[in-house]
């Protein structure tokens, strides 16, 4: 079951553009730096999560955002623990599907782990694409040897109720200093995590793939001794021809 926010006065209405699995596969050929570079090039400057890094260095996360909002713990709510059936955390995890990335607004608070090994294992079983939070995770001794991509600000041994209470799902949230709508495209790696508005995902990913190809070629040029100013596009006419030949030879 996916709980979605209805359109109501006084609230932001989430957009409805679905990012396809094909586009996700294409996005895996890019990086968070290139995707954010394309977005800043068209005027965006609040689309990159600061200080959110993979538990396992070298991880890549690409998927559609599924949002979960945590609020600070308060004892009148948490005295008896969450109701297992209706607790938004449980709803969120049991709603995730192929290509979804759980994005958890933890308000930058790293004084408790938002999830541990069992919840991560469950998301992994359901085929989710990864987890991104501006909070912490617990059980990192397990998670850093596991392949499921987890992006966090820190690690902590406490369980989430020490600091948090899951409030709702699929609202637009803040995470790592940027706005995330349910369904936005997430691309994260060692640099951090880029959030691409879903309505722009196709255009941005295609331009990013193009740019990655450019940069691969530029790196080749630099290895051969070409100075920075000549290796960066836009190329001279001659260089452009050489570039097209290079691409053709590699099928890019």
Say whether residue 203 binds its own copies (CB under 8 A): no
Which of the residues 147 through 176 are near its own copies (CB under 8 A)?
Answer: 154-159, 162, 165, 167-174
Say whether residue 113 binds its own copies (CB under 8 A): yes
Q: Smaller CB distance to its own copies: residue 86 or 237?
A: 86
Q: How far is the CB of 22 from its own copies (least distance, A)?
A: 23
Three-state secondary structure call for residue 65: strand
Q: Smaller CB distance to its own copies: residue 131 or 171?
A: 171
Q: Which two tokens stand for residue 98?
A: 């192929």
Burial (0-12, 13-18, 19+ Cβ within 10 Å), 54: buried
Length of the chain: 252
Per-residue burial over 211-241, b if 16 or more Cβ lie within 10 Å, else e, is bbbbbebbeebeeeeeeeeebeeebeeebee
Residue 166, strand partner residues:
70
CA dihedral 210, 214, 216, 222 (to 10 degrees): -170
User: Tokens 């799902």 correspond to what residue?
Assistant: 169
Q: Smaller CB distance to its own copies: residue 26 or 116?
A: 116
Indicate which single residue of 29, 122, 206, 247 sits in contact with its own copies (rule: CB under 8 A): 122
Task: Report whether 129 contacts 101 (CB < 8 A).
Answer: yes
Say whether residue 101 binds its own copies (CB under 8 A): no
Counting residues that bind its own copies (by CB under 8 A) gives 99
Task: Report whether 71 contacts 167 (CB < 8 A).
Answer: yes
Which of the residues 44 through 83 are near its own copies (CB under 8 A)?
Answer: 44-48, 50-51, 53, 57-58, 60, 71-77
Q: Smaller CB distance to its own copies: residue 45 or 248?
A: 45
Q: How far is the CB of 185 from its own copies (least distance, A)?
A: 13
Say whether residue 29 binds its own copies (CB under 8 A): no
Say whether residue 234 binds its own copies (CB under 8 A): no
Closest C-alpha among 28, 37, 98, 24 to residue 60: 28
Q: Smaller CB distance to its own copies: residue 129 or 208?
A: 208
Task: Report whether 196 contacts 49 (CB < 8 A).
Answer: no
Q: How far is the CB of 241 from its own copies (least distance, A)?
A: 21
Indicate which single residue of 22, 225, 238, 251 sits in contact with its own copies (rule: CB under 8 A): 225
Indicate which single residue of 139, 183, 207, 211 sits in contact with its own copies (rule: CB under 8 A): 139
Q: Which stretch binds its own copies (CB under 8 A): 21-29, 85-93, 203-211, 238-246?
A: 85-93
Indicate which single residue of 84, 147, 236, 251 sits in contact with its own copies (rule: CB under 8 A): 84
Task: Report whether 14 contacts 168 (CB < 8 A).
Answer: no
């Amino acid at each position: 079951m996916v709980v979605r926010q209805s359109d109501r006065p006084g609230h932001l209405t989430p957009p409805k553009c679905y990012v396809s699995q094909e586009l996700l596969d294409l996005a895996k050929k890019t990086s968070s730096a290139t995707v954010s570079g394309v977005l800043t090039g068209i005027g965006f400057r609040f689309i990159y999560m600061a200080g959110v890094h993979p538990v396992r260095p070298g991880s890549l996360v690409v998927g559609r955002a599924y949002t979960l909002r945590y609020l600070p713990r308060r004892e009148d709510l948490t005295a008896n623990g969450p109701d297992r059936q209706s607790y938004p955390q449980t709803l969120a995890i049991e709603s995730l599907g192929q290509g979804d990335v759980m994005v958890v607004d933890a308000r930058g608070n790293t004084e408790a782990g938002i999830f541990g090994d069992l919840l991560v294992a469950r998301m992994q079983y359901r085929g989710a694409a990864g987890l991104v939070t501006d909070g912490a995770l617990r059980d990192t001794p397990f998670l850093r040897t596991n392949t499921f991509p987890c992006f966090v600000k820190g690690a902590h041994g406490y369980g989430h109720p020490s600091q948090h209470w899951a409030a709702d799902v699929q609202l637009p949230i803040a995470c790592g200093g940027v706005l995330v709508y349910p369904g936005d495209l997430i691309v994260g790696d060692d640099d951090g995590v880029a959030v691409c508005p879903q309505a722009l995902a196709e255009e941005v990913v295609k331009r990013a793939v193009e740019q990655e190809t450019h940069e691969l070629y530029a790196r080749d040029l630099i290895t051969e001794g070409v100075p920075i100013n000549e290796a960066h596009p836009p190329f001279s006419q001659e260089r452009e021809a050489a570039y097209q030949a290079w691409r053709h030879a590699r099928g890019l």
